[in-house]
Structure 1
Amino acid sequence: MTAAKHERDAEQDHPTPLAEPIIQRDDGLYQLGWHDDAAGPFESRQFAEAVARAHR
């Protein structure tokens, strides 16, 4: 098993917590965090999570 594959497998088993919580807004869209200038809106939780993981 390569080191990169081992790291990917470990990430899937125990994902690193995100710095900002993913919040579903009243309009059904998602954003990163509670503050007024939070990143978003995103149409899916999966997309919001991908953005959050790319920016940690």
Structure 2
Amino acid sequence: MTKIEFLTLIEKKRVELFQIVSKNGLNSKVTLEYSQELDQLLNQYNKTFLKIDLS
């Protein structure tokens, strides 16, 4: 996956997260799941493209 494709995927997940938060609130289970998915994408991006390992 290219850097641009990865950033596009991250932005899509971020927009989805905002939509979920506005619909279900910050403390819902689905919000937590989307937030964790976004975190995983960001960590993978950092590890792949910025060479940052947050483990």
TM-score, with normalisation over the residues of structure 2?
Answer: 0.26
Q: Larger RCO: Structure 1 or Structure 2 (Cα < 8 Å, ≥ 6 residues apart)?
A: 2
TM-score, with normalisation over the residues of structure 1?
Answer: 0.26
Q: Which has the higher helix share?
A: 2
